[in-house]
Structure 1
Amino acid sequence: MHWALRAGVVAATALPWLMLWSARRHTRPRLEGLHRDAPEEDLLGSLAGVGLGSSISGNSVQVLENGAFFDVLVDRIRAARRTVHLETYLWKKGELNDRVVEALCDRARAGVKVRILADAWGAKRIAPEVPRQLRKAGCRLVWFHPFGFYTLGVFGDRDHRKLTVIDGQEAFVGGHCITDNWLGDAQDHDHFADVSVWLRGPIVHSVQSCFGENWGSATGEILIGDDVYPRLDAVGEVGMHAAFVKPTGWAPAVKAVHHAAICMARERIWIQNPYFLPKPEAIVALGRAVSRGVDVRVLTPSPGASDNPVVQHASHRNFENLLRRGVRIFEYPRTLLHQKLMTVDGRWCAVGSSNFDDRSFDTNDELVIGIQDRETTARIDGIFMKYAQEAREVDPREWATRRKPLQKARDHVYYLLNEVL
């Protein structure tokens, strides 16, 4: 009876964890390769469909790098007349905080509806006076998944999106966070590199829907009306699509789009990402792309340049496998390259908030904009080349021979820790 009781206690304790694992497993399906024989023109439509969205024409896009992004963003916030919707992850006190908060408060005092959604974990180091300052001015500040009994089961699910929508007519999407590391021009270890895009045209409705999804989840409020979804006419000729949906029982849109793009590439796949930890199916897909003659390159910061060296060491676990399959890897030593970019065949590119790991792909709330435009893609490829010139390309033979067993064991331990955390 004693052993039966102990077995019952163990079973009762293990059952909730088994149920949680099972629930998570069904949101992380293994993605297999695709057989592509469609004409080139189908790239945008196919990737939009895979991402559970639609290809949307008539847009314009401007690529904004490093600290110059906030010069434009703050100016556009100050020009708002009806609504400002801002969603972000990292938020810390400092000069950048002061600039953004001052602009938001100015608009709220002028009668503009300012709604701010900040991730409770990512913004945990925000200055205590900032929420009071924002709310006193009339801004609505809401925390995404604050720690508490009600959010205990989803506390690990973070809002990693970085977006701003102004008057429902223009949107900003990318990787920039509100900390002083995003000031400057990536000139040293304390000033990061990043890329965001400034969007106009019908695609803005998709970005607004993305904001409305988490705003509704956090507040119960449904955003409607002309100040949120105004009529948007064509302002350019660029086709785009947005990926952010996380369906039950199938891969999140961001993950599916990245995987499908790899499988559909014919000439070139260039990836820029700060945390590059592809799963086995992605490694296989990248290798198959190389075998088709695709030029596959990855640009990522070195452990010494990263803000999270543990993750970079974890990524090293897969380098030998990737290099053996023909993937070229470049490590940038000066500062954190925080941009989350991917280009395919010189004519389609993805810009957004998603890291190339399964925390972003499967767990976090993310937003990625797919853009089919040769000029924009060339600009993104140019950014790759600018930093790759100062990066060290990892030599496959040297990597396979010089790494000691202790280094491999360390990287494997870091990889397993990253999987758990």
Structure 2
Amino acid sequence: MPTDSAFRPLPCPRRLSWYGWLAVLLLAWSLAGCGSLPRDVPRPVSNALSQPEQTALGQWLQQRQAADQARHPSAFVLLSGAAAAYGSRLALIESAEKTLDLQYYAIHADASTGRLLRGLVAAAKRGVRVRILLDDFHSAGSDAQVLRLAFVPNIEMRLFNPLAGPRNSTLFRTFNALTDFHRAQQRMHNKLFLADNVVGIAGGRNLGDAYFDQHPSSNFIDLDVMAAGPIVRDLSRSFDSYWNNERAYPVSSLVSRAELERMETAEQAAARAASHAHNTPLAPIWDQTPMDLQSAPWIWAAASVLADKPAKIALEGEGPTTTAASASADPSGTPETPPPAAALPPVLRPGAGTMAVRPGLRSGRDTPALQADSVVDGLLALIQRARQDLLVVSPYFVPGDDMKQAFAQALQRGVRVRVLTNSLASNDAPLAHAGYARHRPQLLAMGVQLFEMRSERAGLRNSLSAGSTAGASRAMLHSKLLVIDGGLVAVGSMNLDMRSQLQNTEIALLIASRALGRQAQGNIDAALIESAWQVTLSDKGRLVWRAPLGSGLEDATSEPDASLPLRLMLQLIGPLAPDSLL
């Protein structure tokens, strides 16, 4: 089961004796210590398309803006549901003429991803330059087969912050991570899908069956925003800063095509052969028709990008993290190098290790510059501007002291603060729930309204996953969203937890739009009423889970739907896990 958590369980054979385990551990430790990353790796510099307006997508956007008499240059579509999320990505693949840039924390080697990746190969064959930047953590084992794209002509693929050691050994990679624990914990969590530097998708969704409602037993409820216009150039600047960073290693410097072929399982080989021979579709429930970009319900709005720079996850004491072996021309034929800081537009001035954001959003008056040490810090600064309503959706919610202080100050101003997160039963990372659970009584006492997602998909009518067709599979919340006063919407890769604040790099779109705000808030309100437990405090100070309206369920006095072993784990192991790693 794919996960967005930075931890993956180890296999646990039971036949080894204590001495056998000790021998295995010592051997793994010694081999892990010998592993190292390659040095002096060539990283040709490349950048986003410099003249996107000359593409068919660029010309279409200009015509659409004129026809709509739009007041703002950028447009947005809220992608609520797996079908819209999948169809929009297919549309970008098929519409791109010059470039496709993908940046992801995880790309899983399964059926839904296979259809998208075959589309990328087809795009490369027709002359589209494809760049794929993938965090290294989930690029091992069966998912390593995704790396074969790196050996396709016109496709470049790099791994960010890789671990040393073989990719077919969970044990060795785990011990390599332990010997370099600080760096291994710092992951590139950004998610972007950009076409011709004109249209792009940002949000919390990785690529894999469980993110597109195709997993037979467990699926994520997720949310994306499709953007078009100048705002996409800001997203591309963020992508380029990671792509050209010294932490981004070309796949060919880490693993060979022959090694990947040897790692392929018989089942994977058979599935690949069948898909190439018959173009095997996904399950019959899927409509694989790409979204019609022209008829999509675009909303024109002011917006900005809040993004961490890759330097955020540099090791202490390291110098500048952007290096280049040589420069390469962009697909328009014009050689480019990364622009100096002074040349960047006001919305993206480099700050101390991050992008310092000036949203430039108008709601009767200009907003002041927003300086932040991370995406989460930037969102906390925005929370301080809330005057009436704050709605937070975060699947992994582990508030630090500054986050709780921001909530307390908002409540003192009379702001209604509501948080939707996972229940213990719906959380794919139970330890993260442990971090949240220890803060739950204090948050409720402050006046924060807490809602926890039901794990049962049966009977779920959740607008966040409109069009869901996975039947009675387990539902796991994965959307990351803030709505402030109904008019400022933040959608991105970030969770409101200490890992997103201190360890990962993240990216978010900030959109000032009453129309988009009403749409997002309406979707979430429906989920709170129909699909979530509301956690309250009884008169005696005990937790009570109020059943969703019309569910026919009874209120609960312990973690609903969670098994006894899971509840015991929460009580025994949870207190030992530090918030900063959850």
TM-score, normalising length: structure 2: 0.56
Secondary structure at 1:297's aligned position in 2?
strand
Residue 92 of structure 1 aligns with which residue?
Answer: 108
Give the Cα separation in 1 of the matches to 2:375 and 2:149. 35
325-334 or 358-367, which moves further after superposition?
Answer: 358-367
Secondary structure at 1:192's aligned position in 2?
strand
Residue 6 of structure 1 aligns with which residue?
Answer: none
Give the Cα separation in 1 of the matches to 2:401 and 2:304. 27
Q: Which has the higher helix share?
A: 1
Which of the numbers 64, 78, 84 marks the counterpart of 2:79?
A: 64
1:240–1:369 CA contact under 8 A, matched in 2: yes
Residue 238 of structure 2 aligns with which residue?
Answer: 210
- 1:240 lines up with 2:303 in the alignment: yes
Whose RCO is larger (CA < 8 A, sep 6+)? 1
Give the drift of 1:248.
3.6
Pair member with larger Rg? 2
Give the drift of 1:323.
0.4
Unaligned runs of 5+ in 2: 1-70, 166-175, 251-297, 310-350, 355-371, 456-474, 544-556, 559-566
Residue 161 of structure 1 aligns with which residue?
Answer: 190
Tell me the amino acid that sits aligned with residue 125 of structure 2.
R
Give the drift of 1:254.
0.8
Give the drift of 1:126.
5.0
Give the Cα separation in 2 of the matches to 1:180 and 1:239. 33
Secondary structure at 1:264's aligned position in 2?
coil
Secondary structure at 1:93's aligned position in 2?
coil
Unaligned runs of 5+ in 1: 1-55, 222-234
2:149–2:157 CA contact under 8 A, matched in 1: no
Give the Cα separation in 2 of the matches to 1:278 and 1:162. 23
- 1:142 lines up with 2:172 in the alignment: no
Which of the numbers 530, 533, 541 marks the counterpart of 1:400?
A: 541
Against the structure 1 CA distance between its residues 103 and 399, is the aligned structure 2 distance closer, same or farther, given a 3 Å change threshold? farther
1:73-99: CA deviation from partner (whole Å, max 9, x where unpaired): 122112211000000012212111211
Which of the numbers 292, 299, 309 marks the counterpart of 2:430?
A: 309
2:107–2:207 CA contact under 8 A, matched in 1: yes
- 1:294 lines up with 2:415 in the alignment: yes
Give the drift of 1:177.
0.7
1:298–1:327 CA contact under 8 A, matched in 2: yes
1:229-278: CA deviation from partner (whole Å, max 9, x where unpaired): xxxxxx97410010113544785341222111221100000001100111
Which of the numbers 499, 517, 529 marks the counterpart of 1:359?
A: 499
Give the drift of 1:109.
1.2
1:89–1:118 CA contact under 8 A, matched in 2: yes
1:49-87: CA deviation from partner (whole Å, max 9, x where unpaired): xxxxxxx95210001123120111122112211000000
TM-score, normalising length: structure 1: 0.77
Give the drift of 1:388.
0.9
Secondary structure at 2:100's aligned position in 1?
strand
Give the drift of 1:353.
0.1
Sequence identity percentage: 27
Give the Cα separation in 1 of the matches to 2:396 and 2:148. 34
Tell me the amino acid that sits aligned with residue 180 of structure 1.
D
Aligned CA RMSD, in angstroms, stands at: 2.9
Against the structure 1 CA distance between its residues 255 and 358, is the aligned structure 2 distance closer, same or farther, given a 3 Å change threshold? same
After superposition, residues 13-32 of structure 1 pair within 5 angstroms as: none
Give the Cα separation in 2 of the matches to 1:286 and 1:207. 29
- 1:324 lines up with 2:324 in the alignment: no
2:191–2:203 CA contact under 8 A, matched in 1: yes
Give the Cα separation in 2 of the matches to 1:398 and 1:120. 49
Which of the numbers 341, 365, 376 marks the counterpart of 1:255?
A: 376
Give the Cα separation in 2 of the matches to 1:189 and 1:331. 20
Against the structure 1 CA distance between its residues 126 and 91, is the aligned structure 2 distance closer, same or farther, given a 3 Å change threshold? farther
Which of the numbers 173, 176, 182 marks the counterpart of 2:202?
A: 173
